[in-house]
């Protein structure tokens, strides 16, 4: 019986890695081992940063809300406390958007928060 070799499977495996390494610089694109290492590292960063992005955006929203409420003469923590006591269920993403785009509507939330403190 003829000896079977894993040529099709191994070629497919290598091609998959080299395809994923497209756009990398030098040997990281052309040579299998550096490409495999770089692709693995890139996937680790991608996995980590999908979670990091959520934290970064929440931090940005809080910063924007804080700047807007300070202009209205209240701190961020007191603002959130007032909204919580007033049972206002608006998330930080929406509040930040209002603070940037619609100051009048945001000021109504500030008034609600001040009334509930």
Domain residue limits, the chain: 8-115
**What does the pLDDT look like over 38-55, one tens digit per residue?**
999 999 999 999 999 999
Give the per-residue pLDDT at 117: 86
Mean pLDDT of 96-105: 95
**What does the pLDDT look like over 4-26, one tens digit per residue?**
777 888 899 999 999 999 999 99
CATH topology of domain 8-115: c-terminal domain of poly(a) binding protein (1.10.1900)
Mean of the per-residue pLDDT values of the chain? 94
Q: Which contacts qualify for 5-11: CB closer than 8 Å, 24 or more apart? A: none
Contacts of 106 (CB under 8 A, 6+ apart): 68, 95, 98, 99
Would the pTM count as exceeding 0.95?
Answer: no
CA 101 to the chain's CA centroid: 21
- DSSP conformation class of 31: S
């Amino acid at each position: 019986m003829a000896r079977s070799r894993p040529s099709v499977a191994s070629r497919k495996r290598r091609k998959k890695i080299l395809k994923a390494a497209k756009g990398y610089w030098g040997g990281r694109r052309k040579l299998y081992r550096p490409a495999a290492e770089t692709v693995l590292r890139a996937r680790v960063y991608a996995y980590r940063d999908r979670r990091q992005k959520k934290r970064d955006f929440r931090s940005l929203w809080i910063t924007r809300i804080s700047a807007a409420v300070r202009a209205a003469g209240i701190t961020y923590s007191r603002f959130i406390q007032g909204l919580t006591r007033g049972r206002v269920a608006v998330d930080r993403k929406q509040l930040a958007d209002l603070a940037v785009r619609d100051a009048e509507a945001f000021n109504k939330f500030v008034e609600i928060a001040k009334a509930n403190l």
